[in-house]
Amino acid sequence: MAILPGISHARGLNVPICYGFSCETRVVIRVTPAEWQSVVGWFSPAAPTAADERQQIREAIGWMEVIVGNHTPTHLDRGLNLEKEPPEKLGQMDCIDESINTTTYLTLFEQQGHLRWHRVIEPAYRRSMFDAHWAGQIEEVKTGTAFVVDSWFQDNGMLPYIKESSVWKDLRWAVLIHPNRN
């Protein structure tokens, strides 16, 4: 994992972001101290269990996407964008963009001590009959169980899916789109 910049309470946090399919556009945004506090506030109080921390991660990632969308056109991103060349590409992200950005956010959370029950690991990858798919990934410290953190299925700012990686790799698309169906 790359070491990402820390936060100076006076100046804010520089965060590398990419979008535009396969990280075609790369920018560094400055997240203000107030914005960053609104993101990491989801980790307070500290989670009493790993499952609770995964829910905090969902909330923090969703809110971080909103903050990033205030600085970039990613607020226009729509989930499940399967078209490789959509008519309106501005701000759209494929799973590569989403997995890289999610891993960046997770790494910042980890580096600043907000993750107690999980550590960030390499992004997850799976190949399906249609296409390959990437997602951010964390590992529960106590059990070693890996979980994907997948933002691609939702519009910008919505909560990402967190599933055990072994389940995610075998999951049919319909289960992710309609999570209440088994």
Tens-digit pLDDT string for the chain (182 aa): 454 554 445 579 999 999 999 999 999 999 999 999 999 999 999 999 999 999 999 999 999 999 999 999 999 999 987 666 666 778 999 999 999 999 999 999 999 999 999 999 999 998 876 678 899 999 999 999 999 999 999 999 999 999 999 988 876 654 555 555 44
Within a domain: 36 = yes
160, 154 Cβ separation under 8 angstroms: yes
C-beta of residue 101 within 8 angstroms of C-beta of residue 94:
no
Report the candidate in 40, 30, 37 with the shortest Cα–Cα distance to residue 113: 40
In a domain, 3, yes or no: no
DSSP 112: T
2 in a structural domain:
no
Is residue 90 situated within a structural domain? yes
- Closest by CA to 136, choosing from 77, 72, 76, 58, is 58
Residue 5 lies in a domain: no
Number of domains in the chain: 1
Tell me 121's DSSP state: E
The per-type count for the chain, helices as H runs and strands as E runs, is 5, 6
Domain that holds residue 20: 13-177
Determine contact, residues 160/61, Cβ cutoff 8 Å: yes
